[in-house]
Amino acid sequence: MSLLIIRHGETPLNVTRVLQPAATPLSERGQAQAQALALQLKSAGLAAILSSDLPRALQTAQAIARACGLPVVTTPLLHERNFGDLRGLAYDTLDHDPLTAEGAPPGGESQAEFRQRCAAAWALLREQQANAGGPLAVVTHGLVIREWLWRGPLLLPDGMAPPDHLANTSLTLASATPPHRVSKLNSTDHLDGSSAEDSKSLSGG
């Protein structure tokens, strides 16, 4: 059995490199990316879909759900890290990198709080996968996936490093049982030229 770990589709604020308010939806290209991924996964034999309930992730998950005839189970545990008062600000104008900062921005989460939530999200993911009894698609956000890749529980093959940039609607495939070995990383094989990600877009936030 497999875990299919998916970053949400593109948003207008990914492209303009702005830290995103919670309600940010997919862009037109993000919707096309989600549809392309849904078409690829239609024959993947998915048993269940678990998603962040933020619009950009939920809209991506709903496209997959329509193609596969499955419901979407949502959880706030899969949210992107909360950047509080920094949301809505252009990333490149800040005097520090909030994506890697340990401290909490005003009204937001510290890195330690975020790591704890990512661990809780993984525990829920494992529970949902066991209940589904088959492949589970998990739609979440760039920094959540990066946390799982850098600190575990996802295990990369020898010689493979976590990517600096996780693409919109990228697919990472891993074993559903420990040690959760990754067999496909940050794949965008489903995207063509018209739906390919802008390489300058913000991967997280």
pLDDT digits (tens, 9 = 90+) for 21-79: 999 999 999 999 999 999 999 999 999 999 999 999 999 999 999 999 999 999 999 99
Q: What span, in angstroms and rounded, lies between the C-alpha atoms of 121 and 76?
A: 9
What is the percentage of the chain residues whose pLDDT exceeds 90? 89
Question: Residue 164: what pLDDT?
Answer: 86
Q: Rounded to whole angstroms, how far apart are CA atoms 167 and 143?
A: 12
Between CA 168 and CA 166 the distance in angstroms is 7
Check residue 193 and give its pLDDT. Answer: 75
pLDDT at 143: 97
> In percent, how much of the chain has pLDDT > 70?
100
pLDDT in tens, 99-136: 999 999 999 999 999 999 999 999 999 999 999 999 99
Residue 166: partners with Cβ closer than 8 Å, 6 or more residues away: 7, 142, 145, 146, 186, 203, 204
Active site (catalytic) residues = 8, 80
Q: Does residue 1 have a pLDDT over 80?
A: no
The domains found in the chain, sorted by start residue, are: 2-187 (3.40.50.1240)
d(CA 49, CA 101): 31
> Smallest Cα–Cα separation from 107: which of 116, 98, 115?
98
Taking every pair of Cα atoms in the chain, the longest distance, rounded to a whole number of angstroms, is: 47
- DSSP run (H or E) holding 143: helix 142-151
pLDDT range class, residue 197, cuts 50, 70, 90: confident
